Chains A and B, each alone.
Chain A
Amino acid sequence: DQQVKQNSPSLSVQEGRISILNCDYTNSMFDYFLWYKKYPAEGPTFLISISSIKDKNEDGRFTVFLNKSAKHLSLHIVPSQPGDSAVYFCAARHGSGNTGKLIFGQGTTLQVKP
């Protein structure tokens, strides 16, 4: 049962344009959401997060939007740069208990063309 889904395996955008990566989840107990970026042969790098009590969080070129009623979040990258080309993972943290384990989506490969 895939609780966190990234339905687009890949996305290609032109440099300077907006990249929008999407993520859907099913479990209403998730209380914290994160986006990670991963280059080949490296571990995931933390990008940005959002608490379930907010609907938007912005950090430089990166903005994450959360729509709790739709159980949907998205990552916007503006403007996109060739160095942003990587695999992006959406992750959700389960709110109950104290483990805070992360449940990841399958990832979306972003290619930014010069």
Chain B
Amino acid sequence: ETGVTQSPTHLIKTRGQQVTLRCSSRSGHNTVSWYQQALGQGPQFIFQYYREEENGRGNFPPRFSGLQFPNYSSELNVNALELDDSALYLCASSPRGAGGHSDTQYFGPGTRLTVL
């Protein structure tokens, strides 16, 4: 079974630029969540996608946006990059549980974004 994969592994951008990060979900998982992990902190929820629609959002500005594709893969886009956007960006996939909640989330290795 293929796990969650993310690309690229590392990325360096300058302030004001735009970036797109990609995630392929685990086989059979229809829900993708994105998290931002700053140094020394736990991951923070950005948003979740289910059936190609945003299904919940954390406390992040609109310049953070995403997409989910019919094969359940997903993209995270960040516009007008700021220095504080430097972080590890994690994608997690999960199946939708019987109660309607996304079940246990399985994480990819992350993309390390550095904004100069």
Interface residues, chain A, with chain B CB atoms under 8 Å away: 4, 6, 32, 34, 36, 41-46, 49, 89, 91, 93, 95, 97-107
Contacts and interface: CB of A to CB of B under 8 A. Distances in A.
A100 B42 CA distance: 17
B45 to A, nearest CB: 4
Interface string B67-105: 000000000000000000000001010100100111111
Interface of B: 4, 6, 33, 35, 40-45, 48, 55-56, 58, 90, 92, 94, 97, 100-110
A102 B108 CA distance: 15
Contacts of B42: 4, 6, 89, 91, 104-107
Given A102-B45, A103-B45, A41 B109 contact: yes
Contacts of B109: 41-43
A99 B106 contact: no
B101 A100 contact: yes
Contacts of B92: 43, 102
Nearest to A105: B42
